Amino acid sequence: MHIAHVIQYIGKDFGGPVAGMAAMTAGLAARGHQVHVYATHRGHEGDVISLAPGVQGHVCRDVTLGIFRRSATLWKELNIADCSIIHSHGLWGDPNRCAASIAKRKGIPHVLSTCGMLEPHCLRRSHWKKLVVQLLFQNRALSEVGCLMANSEMEYRDIRAYGLTNPVALIPNPVFGPETVGNPITPETLQERFLLDRDKRILLFLGRIHPVKGVHRLIEAWCRLDEFHNSWNLIIAGPDEGGFQSVLEEALIKAGCSASVRFTGSLDDRWKWGMLQYANLFVMPSDAENFGIAIVEALQAGLPVITTTRTPWRVLHDRQAGWVVEPETECLARVLQEAMAIDEQSLKIMGARGKSLGGNYAPEPIATQLATVYDWLLERRDQPSCVRTMPTFI
């Protein structure tokens, strides 16, 4: 099968959609499919993510029209691509319009991963810009998609709440595990680079430093827990988006808590897995997550996870592998206090439960599910069980 994946961004710092696409295409290539990735990229957007052997990348750098991300090269290369299916990732930009238009012209199926961009909190951001895009092309393109992709029940409900009646494939994001990076960075190297006290335990946040990730709430909760600042360090690892890190740093200085918090910036894979394996506890206090790749990575590293009800991870409570709380400072502070008071061995037992859960997201098995959706759209097999269609009333 010849498959073209289209994504607006391909820089490592753009988080879940990019990482999920890379793992997805790696799994498809490992199954013997011919996979090409078409993406737009600007020089200031960080390093281009590495694609797996067998996946051919087409990075289009002639990006115009600001956030609309128009690329003449993308249109030209996708137009001449010899593919039997197009799978695009994300909304609100010209690359999605390009994928929809060319799939229609070629008469081939278009699959679309919404990447959480129909979540109500996301729809409210830049509302007027999105309204213009909806009217120009987005709603029409969405209505013509052969199958939408949802990573969780939560995302499936958002798709239906938006009013879309297309078939939806419910397939989780694949996630690369620590085995893909070889030897991670050692604890000693981490301690030296980030001035960490070896006698302190580590509470880790890993993700974009952006308001939607709830990092401000984490800082507020942390500053209420000064009794733990002598025995724990808070590590905030990830790229600064829109200068939000400086806002957090000012809040820490004002509260007198900056000595117990470290910002690491963006970490490459070896540093990231080194930090995950060095930490004792993971926190992701987001306002909105359609999946949460960093949560899976933390589980794969054997860490108990604290997250919110705005993520699709209520199973953490059921498996006794972590905590799921309302996205409020008071709730987060209370659970952090409870978790950080637990002894190290008990946290490891919780982490072991989570590790078995995190092992369910390897790229190849998930790519196998995805290939059944492609085959169904190409009329090579019956509808797979992961696909949900709206009931027809006569």
Q: Which residues of 83-104 are buried (b: 16+ CB within 10 A; e: fewer)?
A: bbbbbbbbbbbbbbbbbbbbbe
- Classify residue 226: in a domain, yes or no: yes
Same domain, 157 and 222: no
Say yes or no: 354 and 264 in one domain.
yes
pLDDT in tens, 41-78: 998 888 899 999 999 999 999 999 888 899 999 999 99
**CATH number, domain with residue 192:** 3.40.50.2000
pLDDT at 391: 67
242 and 136 in a common domain = no
pLDDT of 9 reads 93
Mark the ranges of the chain whose per-residue pLDDT is less than 70: 391-394
User: Can you tell me whether residue 277 is helix, strand or coil?
Assistant: helix
Both 262 and 335 in a single domain? yes
Indicate whether 199 and 311 sit together in one domain. Answer: yes
pLDDT at site 230: 95
Inside any domain, residue 112: yes
pLDDT at 394: 44
Tell me which residue of 284, 240, 246 sits closest to 264, measured CA to CA.
240
pLDDT of residue 15: 79
**Which pLDDT score is estimated for 242?**
86
Same domain, 346 and 369: no
Same domain, 112 and 211: no
Number of separate domains in the chain: 2
- pLDDT the model gives residue 392: 55
Question: Could you tell me if residue 394 is inside a domain?
Answer: no
Q: What is the DSSP string of 245-262?
A: HHHHHHHHHHHT-GGGEE
How much is the pLDDT for 3? 98
Is the whole-model pTM more than 0.75? yes
> Quick one: which H or E segment has residue 308?
strand 305-308
264 and 119 belong to one structural domain:
no
pLDDT in tens, 187-244: 999 999 999 999 999 999 999 999 999 999 999 999 999 999 999 999 999 999 889 9
Full residue range of the structural domain in which residue 274 is found: 178-360
Q: Are residues 148 and 70 in the same domain?
A: yes
pLDDT tens track for 228-254:
999 999 999 999 988 999 999 999 999
Paired tokens of 337? 């206090």
What is the tally of helices (H) and strands (E) in the chain? 16, 16
Residue 393 within a domain: no
75 part of a folded domain: yes
**3-class SS at 210?**
coil
- Asked whether residue 146 falls in the same domain as residue 10, the answer is yes
- Whether residue 371 lies inside any domain: the answer is yes
**Are 349 and 369 found together in one domain?**
no
Q: Is residue 238 part of a domain?
A: yes
160 in the same domain as 11: yes
Task: Please give the torsion angle defined by the CA atoms of residues 24, 26, 27 and 28, in that order, rounded to the nearest 10 degrees.
Answer: 90
Assigned domain for 205 exists: yes
- pLDDT of res. 6: 98
